[in-house]
Amino acid sequence: MITVALAKGALLKDSVSRFAKAGLDFSSVLESGNRQLMVPSPCGRARALLVRNGDVPVYVAFGQAQLGVVGFDVLREKQMPVAQLVDLGFGGCHMAVAVKENSGYERAADLPAHCRVASKFTHCARSYFDQLELPVELVHLTGSVELGPITGMTEAIVDLVATGRTLRDNGLVAIEELFQSTARLVGNPLSLRLDRGELREIIEAIRTQDQLSEALI
């Protein structure tokens, strides 16, 4: 049986739609009354694991799921040994450095050495500031990182930005972009090597959807 790790939240609806077009129906995970974390498809050949976005590459890397859908930001942060198969194009956002609007900082290099920077994505943040050769103290937060500069605990944040509304509503502004992020189809490398065609069929069906969409643009 094929097991697919699907992320709860913003990516879920589009993920279900892509797999449906590839022949795997996981639509029951979208039902308001659903509380199941492991959901079989009606065809009986696959099941979905409903997990947190950050846990998708973990389940795939350990082989508990052969395929999964996760944001590129999570892949960059987690650094798990999974195969990136298809850029699905949805869930677009970017990782950015942001500061208070009145801070006077216009780019990340303007930040003072050894200042504090809050982020959920400390690996991505560390890699970026190391490239700048700017030593900073990273503060790992799991909630609203915007409070770091607002309270004066940190000079800046590194976080995902989609529309930018949360930054604006809290008096912050993005000054640097680290990278763009979209949803990616990922796979377990060993499962892909041992595949007898079932996984390849699904992957190609999903890849074909993307190629058709690009051709129509």
List the chain domain ranges.
Answer: 2-91+182-216, 93-180
Q: What is the CATH number of domain 93-180?
A: 3.40.190.10
- Strands in 13-127 per DSSP E: 38-40, 46-51, 67-71, 83-87, 93-100, 116-119
Domains 2-91+182-216 and 93-180 share a fold: yes
Q: Are 74 and 186 in contact (CB under 8 A)?
A: no
pLDDT tier for residue 214 given thresholds of 50, 70 and 90: low
- Residue 5 bridge partners (DSSP): 49, 68
How much is the average pLDDT of 43-62?
93
| pLDDT tens by residue, 127-174 | 999 999 999 999 999 989 999 999 999 999 999 999 999 999 999 999
Residue type, 170: N
CATH of 2-91+182-216, one of 3.90.1010.10, 3.40.228.10, 3.50.50.60, 3.40.190.10: 3.40.190.10
pLDDT of residue 110: 96
Task: Examine the pLDDT at 209 and tell me if it is beyond 80.
Answer: no
pLDDT of residue 211: 57
Query: What gap in Å lies between CA 4 and CA 84, rounded to an integer?
Result: 14
